[in-house]
Amino acid sequence: QVHLVESGGGSVPAGGSLRLSCAVSGFTYSSYCMAWFRQAPGKEREGVAVISSDGSTRYADSVKGRFTISEDSVKNTLHLQMNSLKPEDTGHYYCAADPLVKDLYSGRCPIEPERYGLDWWGKGTLVTVSS
């Protein structure tokens, strides 16, 4: 059974940094997409960053240059380094994994959260950025 558990959330002032982690267990696929999503209060869930099993990454325009997604395949952990945080980055952050969403021709991973199966999501960690 696949489990994803996020950690590292917290409260920081604007301009600060946080490093989120997602411990993944039971996920044994060699070709996959992993992703970070977030949901702000009263807003829809949105994609933040994705990483493919081949190491390629994609970011939402709102976080480009500030956030970095990475994967530690030895420790089976997904990370999201968040720098220069803004109040609008506040929300619950979720990690997800899916071996079926990777485009067979381009190899790209989608960043839209609705593309990822619901079976492989973590329960989220809260990030609060104060102004």
Over the stretch 59-100, which tens digit does the pLDDT of each residue have? 999 999 999 999 998 889 999 999 999 999 999 999 999 999
Q: What is the pLDDT of residues 24-44, one digit of tens each?
A: 999 999 899 999 999 999 999
Instruction: Please say whether the beta carbons of 78 and 129 come within 8 A.
Output: no
Token couple for 113 = 């959260």
Portion of the chain with pLDDT greater than 70, in percent: 100
Per-residue 3-state assignment (H helix, E strand, C coil) for the chain: CCEEEEECCEEEECCCCEEEEEEEECCCCCCCEEEEEEECCCCCCEEEEEEECCCCEEECCCCCCCEEEEEECCCCEEEEEECCCCHHHCEEEEEEEECCCCCCCCCCCCCCHHHCCHHHECCCEEEEEEC
- Rounded Cα distance between 41 and 100, Å, is 29
More confident residue, 1 or 93: 93
Please determine, for residue 103, whether its predicted confidence score (pLDDT) is greater than 90.
no
Per-residue pLDDT band at 107 (split at 50, 70, 90): confident
Provide the pLDDT confidence category of residue 104 given band limits of 50, 70 and 90.
confident
